[in-house]
């Protein structure tokens, strides 16, 4: 008896503008995010709390989604994912298969103020570096501890690495 292939899941459009200085790349949105059509929609994902500390906006996690995105753009932070689409049962990065990459190098090259590309988690870092290839040397590359609830290190332990993003925003 054959099992049907898991459905193909696709990432969202990038959230950037010409002033973006830091591009934060995840791997591929999880099921909760895909259902909500929002980056980092799982209530236990720590992304919005971590980035709130980076930009000193304690109110950020409670804002409506569009206002959170606007606050990121105002702070010169962009969002995207390393994976354009993949098959994946559930939301674990370890289950990503048959991944089609997003063209990070082309997007990054269109951002004139870009200083750093930060990768939210080890899978995003591994896949993103592969996609950037030699062009990775054009920017500071920052591997970050994953904001995912599956990465069980606490917020306090993750925060110092995330706060390093501030160096590239001024």
Instruction: Decide the pairing of beta strands 83-87 and 77-81.
Output: unpaired
Q: Quick one: which of 14, 20, 16 has its CA closest to 115?
A: 20
- Among 45, 102, 120, 138, the active-site one is 45
> In residues, how long is the chain?
170
45 is catalytic: yes
What is the enclosing helix (H) or strand (E) of 134?
A: none
99-130 burial, b for 16+ CB within 10 Å, e for fewer?
bebbebbebbeebeebbbbbbbbebbbebbbe
Query: Do the Cβ atoms of 94 and 150 come closer than 8 Å?
Result: no
Indicate which residues carry an active-site annotation: 45
């Amino acid at each position: 008896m054959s099992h049907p292939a898991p459905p193909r899941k696709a990432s969202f459009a990038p959230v950037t503008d010409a002033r973006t200085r830091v591009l934060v790349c995840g791997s591929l949105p999880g099921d909760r995010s895909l259902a909500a059509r929002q980056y980092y929609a799982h209530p236990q994902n720590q992304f919005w709390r971590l980035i709130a500390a980076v930009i000193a906006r304690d109110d950020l996690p409670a804002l409506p989604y569009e206002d959170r995105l606007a606050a990121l753009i105002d702070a010169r932070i962009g969002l995207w994912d390393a994976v354009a689409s993949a098959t994946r049962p559930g939301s674990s990065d370890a289950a990503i298969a048959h991944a089609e990459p997003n063209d990070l190098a082309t997007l990054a090259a269109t951002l004139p103020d870009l200083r750093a590309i930060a990768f939210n988690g080890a899978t995003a870092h591994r896949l993103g570096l592969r996609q950037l290839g030699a062009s990775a040397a054009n920017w500071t590359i920052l591997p970050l501890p994953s904001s995912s609830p599956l990465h069980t290190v606490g917020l306090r332990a993750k925060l110092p690495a995330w706060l390093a993003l501030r160096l590239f925003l001024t």
